[in-house]
Structure 1
């Protein structure tokens, strides 16, 4: 439901002439809401990366208002299809009694770890939006997604590690992307290549994030080329530039919102903020 709503909101943003400026508050607010929902439901992967991706990617290409219902139906149909594929594969281990959490909307405060996590996303995504709106980068959602990646990790050390892995994996993935884009796959061939790269991403990201990016980066560039066609050199340059901008913003937001604990302060449980895979 969150992903479908994100696509619809993004499609609505794409209908206005000043969509990039409207995307700044819309994406920031959506990221803050999504990260709280993710913590309330203990979603995996954690954080707001996927909801932010759904909204910002849908707002990238300008569309007519009459196209929004088609976008909503496509997103809802994809979600239903995914559930039909996933639910029959459930096993007894997937069930069990629901876990009751004490966290609620009423008890949420900015000083709480989850409140601070939401504030980090609000600050980081808003800054990413301003960078996108003022720079005129060709694929703006790349900056939003990149900024979301480190912030989804549970602590400062994990966020710094995730940022380093992002740089290493993206650099290697750009080399693979150059080869894939040079082949110029047609529309149907591109769909098959994207599906294979997505499968490889899912199989490797949980084991090594940098390795997962080797497959994810060419997939993202191939999708980007289908949405906003450009030369190979332009696509590679934009991806590298937006990776640097997004990570810089994410690390700045992390440092600003980082809690400086005293020796007597208690550290929240490790599983309070789940790692993003």
Structure 2
């Protein structure tokens, strides 16, 4: 080694440390001032506070209902107070309508064509309402998934009243959190105008009906175990109004789901107890919302284990086979959604 080389290396170490520290400080600054942090905190608290109460009560099985109630918080991003309240009330009506319908029919153990019929109704109706009022996130995924997931949970002869209460209370709490924040007065004067284009709205409704039907019929023919994942997967690409966007959204969905399965396998290896599982479900909601807009695939790597953990908590008899059933059903739905939408709707939808 040439003379003086070690000294040069050691002399450079403080500079490297200084640059690394500056980089870390800059990253922390970006995270702390990111526009995604406040909505993510609201959504996280929207599940964290009611979820913690459920954990204290020893009712981890009710977290599935609370999770879907907290999703109402995802619609609270508008900077205008009254517009945010309007968006969240509309979203709450959709989520509660679809979720309560699922809770009511759960004792009937619906599956197959009956599950598909209900999913088609909520997909079409949710798409119509979301496009009519311009609420974000757009599309029908969350109400459709709420109906399918809550409608297929194993319950006794009567609807789960305690789950219904957890669902409604968490949804109302999420709306209150959306209003319990400081609103920028300057932003209040910048009111966005939502254009209503009925031909595009109705065309998207038609696309939802056809795509969900095709995905569901194929899933029934192939005897998919968890049909609700196939139906929800088919709805994911339709939230985007053009073929390239749908392909990208579908690819992100597949990659995020597979990454989430890997994360879930690691969690399963640790064999967390019931309370730890509940804490994981609550904790995964924050990064899900934090990355939902910025990186959809990464957000799903958190959302996938969250959903499967909450379903397993509500149905402890579900084994590890559920992981692959959900992954394969989701993959089938996404592929059918992309291909069928490309055939049915060649022109982009104007939202």
Larger gyration radius, structure 1 or structure 2: 2
Task: Specify whether residues 221 and 249 from structure 1 end up closer, same or farther in structure 2 by C-alpha distance, changes over 3 A only.
Answer: same
Instruction: Kindly provide the CA deviation profile for residues 86-145 of structure 1, in whole angstroms up to 9, marking residues without a partner as x.
Output: 2111514664586665638xxx4xxx2211111111112223333444444443322222
How far 1:40 moved relative to its partner? 1.0
Gaps of 5+ in 1: 261-266
Question: SS of 2:180's equivalent?
Answer: helix
2:228 is aligned, of 135, 141, 146, to 141
Task: Specify whether residues 217 and 154 from structure 1 end up closer, same or farther in structure 2 by C-alpha distance, changes over 3 A only.
Answer: same
2:313 maps to 1:223: no
How far 1:69 moved relative to its partner? 4.2
When normalised by structure 1's length, the TM-score is 0.83
**Partner in structure 2 of residue 57 of structure 1:** 149
Task: Specify whether residues 89 and 131 from structure 1 end up closer, same or farther in structure 2 by C-alpha distance, changes over 3 A only.
Answer: farther
| Superposition RMSD in Å | 2.4
How far 1:36 moved relative to its partner? 0.9
Report the count of equivalent residues. Answer: 257
**Partner in structure 2 of residue 179 of structure 1:** 266
1:87 is aligned, of 179, 195, 207, to 179
**Partner in structure 1 of residue 70 of structure 2:** none
2:118 maps to 1:30: no
Question: SS of 1:178's equivalent?
Answer: helix
8 Å Cα contact 1:147-1:249 kept in structure 2: yes
Give the alignment of 1:128-277 within 5 angstroms.
128-228=215-315, 229-232=317-320, 234-260=321-347, 272-273=350-351
8 Å Cα contact 2:109-2:152 kept in structure 1: no
Task: Specify whether residues 20 and 89 from structure 1 end up closer, same or farther in structure 2 by C-alpha distance, changes over 3 A only.
Answer: farther
8 Å Cα contact 1:13-1:19 kept in structure 2: no
**Counterparts of 2:132 and 2:206 in 1: how far apart (Å)?**
16
**Counterparts of 2:190 and 2:156 in 1: how far apart (Å)?**
46
**Which one has the bigger helix percentage?**
2
When normalised by structure 2's length, the TM-score is 0.66
2:11 maps to 1:11: no
**Partner in structure 2 of residue 103 of structure 1:** 196
**Partner in structure 2 of residue 264 of structure 1:** none
Question: SS of 1:89's equivalent?
Answer: coil
Instruction: Kindly provide the CA deviation profile for residues 51-108 of structure 1, in whole angstroms up to 9, marking residues without a partner as x.
Output: 101111111124345325444333221111111222111514664586665638xxx4
Gaps of 5+ in 2: 1-92
Return 234-243 or 156-165, whichever deviates more: 234-243
8 Å Cα contact 1:181-1:222 kept in structure 2: no
Question: SS of 1:45's equivalent?
Answer: coil
8 Å Cα contact 2:105-2:159 kept in structure 1: no
Task: Specify whether residues 206 and 21 from structure 1 end up closer, same or farther in structure 2 by C-alpha distance, changes over 3 A only.
Answer: same
Task: Specify whether residues 124 and 96 from structure 1 end up closer, same or farther in structure 2 by C-alpha distance, changes over 3 A only.
Answer: farther
How far 1:32 moved relative to its partner? 0.5
8 Å Cα contact 2:110-2:151 kept in structure 1: no
8 Å Cα contact 1:166-1:210 kept in structure 2: yes
